[in-house]
Amino acid sequence: MYKVRADFPILEQQVYGKPLVYLDNAATTQKPRAVIDAMAEEYYTVNANVHRGVHYLSQRATDLHEGSREAVRQFIHAVSTREIIFTRGTTESINLVAACFGEQFMHEGDEVIVSVMEHHSNIVPWQLLASRKGIKLRVIPMTDKGELELEAYEQLFNEHTRIVSVAHVSNVLGTVNPVQRIIQIAHAHGVPVLIDAAQSVPHLAVDVQQLDADFLAFSGHKIYGPTGIGVLYGKEEWLEKLPPYQGGGEMIGHVSFEHTTFNELPFKFEAGTPDFVGTTGLAAALHYVEQIGIDEIAAYETSLTDYALQQLRTIPDMRIIGEAPERGAVISFLVGDIHPFDMGTLLDRLGIAVRTGHHCAQPLMQRLGIEGTLRASFSFYNTMEEVDALVAAVRRVSQMF
Ligand code: C6P
């Protein structure tokens, strides 16, 4: 795996005279040359607006853009490219479902089920809908180890339940939630499910058909692609029933002042000029990941995470936040009563980039009774030596307090 590091020039640098140890991959991943080059190449040689021109460059740009949609379809095993909507990222994808599904299928008193470990982007869009339409949020609780309580989840269903929206992998606890089971239970009640796959698609194989997910959202920048591009997968039967998200060019069939018709899927949900260079970058990133192999990535990152957990636990007063057995490449921790921000700032001076704070999951922090954590999150380009550097630095900093 170590040979891939050469593909990421940014990792070669030093910060404060120390080798950079980048362990903030859950926030965003670094970009391989293949992604940067594919985007630069498009700007240098192809750039033209898509779906609009009869001219050569526009047709080439359109082919690239639609080819990228096909690459996404293959990567998550969707049935059709009609089910792949390009968005700005996970946040916009979830907002789209909350707005459009909410508009069509939810009325005052109806309920959405989310979990206590959701990122704000899977809470606030539903709260906005609540303030517009008077719907209610119901919350799946979790154990102290950070596992969702499935019996309590089943109890939340009633005749008002319209949709379930849960994270596949927690960006704080690392817990891999049993989404297949969560979907089965929802479907047994006739309720569709949206999966927030921001932290799963980059790290483990995701097959929307096998999961039987109704909607699934992820971000390009967390899977080695560019910022500003993301995906909403939706089953065609659902997408057909939803109203458009935004109005503008691209999403229309015919416009007159008297009556406007809308474009077919997936364009109905893609108003305005799309980020067609971003989609090229995303496709290059997915191709890059496929070349390494998502199962190889999962296995390597698991060994890295297991090793890090084992080593971190040798530090006195270490508290790992999130002890679910099924976990991804994310470790949250606290040491004694050292404030995460203080520890994070000192780790930074030693070249170690981790995230500190509430990680956009304040209700989860409230459940845990803490204000925030330190969080190390891994990628396949991280090494065991970098884990050693993290552990040595945490030990050193904790001795200073
Ligand atoms: N979490 C983190 O450091 P966007 O910002 O749209 O690309 O992704 C939002 C999002 C949604 N769900 C989950 C589970 C996430 O982890 C994130 C992004 C980053 O944890 C930035 S706050």
The number of domains in the chain is: 2
Alpha carbon nearest to ligand 1 atom 19, residue = 27
- Specify the residue for token string 């050693």: 388
Lowest-pLDDT choice from 3-7, 109-113, 187-191, 237-241: 3-7
On whether the CB atoms of residues 226 and 35 are closer than 8 A, the answer is yes
Residues 201 and 343 in one domain: no
Alpha carbon nearest to ligand 1 atom 8, residue = 90
Domain boundary among 258, 290, 322: 290
Query: Tokens standing for 109?
Result: 């008193």
Residues 231 and 330 in one domain: no
- Average pLDDT of 272-281? 98
- Average pLDDT of 218-244? 98
pLDDT tens digit sequence for 97-116: 999 999 999 999 999 999 99
pLDDT tens digit sequence for 280-321: 999 999 999 999 999 999 999 999 999 999 999 999 999 999
User: How far is the centre of ligand 1, averaged over its atoms, from the C-alpha of 34 (Å)?
Assistant: 24
Atom of ligand 1 nearest to the CA of 360: 22
Q: Which residues contact 363 (CB under 8 A, 6 or more apart)?
A: 116, 118, 123, 139
User: How far is the centre of ligand 1, averaged over its atoms, from the C-alpha of 171 (Å)?
Assistant: 7
What global pTM score does this model have? 0.98
On whether the CB atoms of residues 223 and 379 are closer than 8 A, the answer is no
Rounded to whole angstroms, the Cα distance separating 156 from 154 reads 5
- Average pLDDT of 356-373? 98
Residue 3 pLDDT: 81
Atom of ligand 1 nearest to the CA of 121: 11
User: How far is the centre of ligand 1, averaged over its atoms, from the C-alpha of 312 (Å)?
Assistant: 25
Strands (E), 70-177: 84-87, 111-115, 136-140, 161-167
Residues 19 and 98 in one domain: no
Q: Is the pLDDT of residue 363 over 80?
A: yes
Query: Residue 79, class by beta-carbon neighbours within 10 Å (0-12 exposed, 13-18 middle, 19+ buried)?
Result: exposed
**46: which DSSP letter?**
T
CATH number at residue 173: 3.40.640.10
- % of the chain exceeding 90 in pLDDT: 99
User: How far is the centre of ligand 1, averaged over its atoms, from the C-alpha of 71 (Å)?
Assistant: 22
- Average pLDDT of 40-50? 98
User: How far is the centre of ligand 1, averaged over its atoms, from the C-alpha of 254 (Å)?
Assistant: 37
Residues 340 and 212 in one domain: no
Pocket of ligand 1 (CB under 6 A): 26-27, 89-91, 119, 121, 167, 171, 196, 198-199, 219, 355, 359-360
Q: Is the pLDDT of residue 1 over 80?
A: no
Residues 219 and 335 in one domain: no
pLDDT band with cut points at 50, 70 and 90 for residue 158:
very high
| Containing structural domain, residue 338 | 2-30+294-400
Residue 16 pLDDT: 97
Q: Is the pLDDT of residue 331 over 80?
A: yes
Residue 53 pLDDT: 81
Rounded to whole angstroms, the Cα distance separating 8 from 10 reads 6
Residues 150 and 81 in one domain: yes
pLDDT band with cut points at 50, 70 and 90 for residue 52:
confident
Residue 360 among the catalytic residues: yes
Pocket perturbation via mutation, ligand 1, pick of 119, 204, 355, 362 by most ligand atoms within 8 A of CB: 119
Q: Which residues contact 335 (CB under 8 A, 6 or more apart)?
A: 315, 317, 318, 319, 343, 374, 394, 398
Residues 96 and 227 in one domain: yes
Domain boundary among 290, 325, 356: 290
Alpha carbon nearest to ligand 1 atom 3, residue = 27
At 254, is the secondary structure helix, strand, or coil? strand
Residues 113 and 197 in one domain: yes
Rounded to whole angstroms, the Cα distance separating 45 from 48 reads 9
Query: Tokens standing for 242?
Result: 């939803």
Domain boundary among 238, 263, 290: 290
Q: Is the pLDDT of residue 2 over 90?
A: no
Residues 96 and 161 in one domain: yes
- Which candidate in 360, 365, 370, 392 is catalytic? 360
- Average pLDDT of 125-134? 98
Q: Is the pLDDT of residue 50 over 70?
A: yes
Pocket perturbation via mutation, ligand 1, pick of 126, 282, 360 by most ligand atoms within 8 A of CB: 360
Atom of ligand 1 nearest to the CA of 171: 16
Residues 230 and 349 in one domain: no
Q: Is the pLDDT of residue 399 over 80?
A: yes
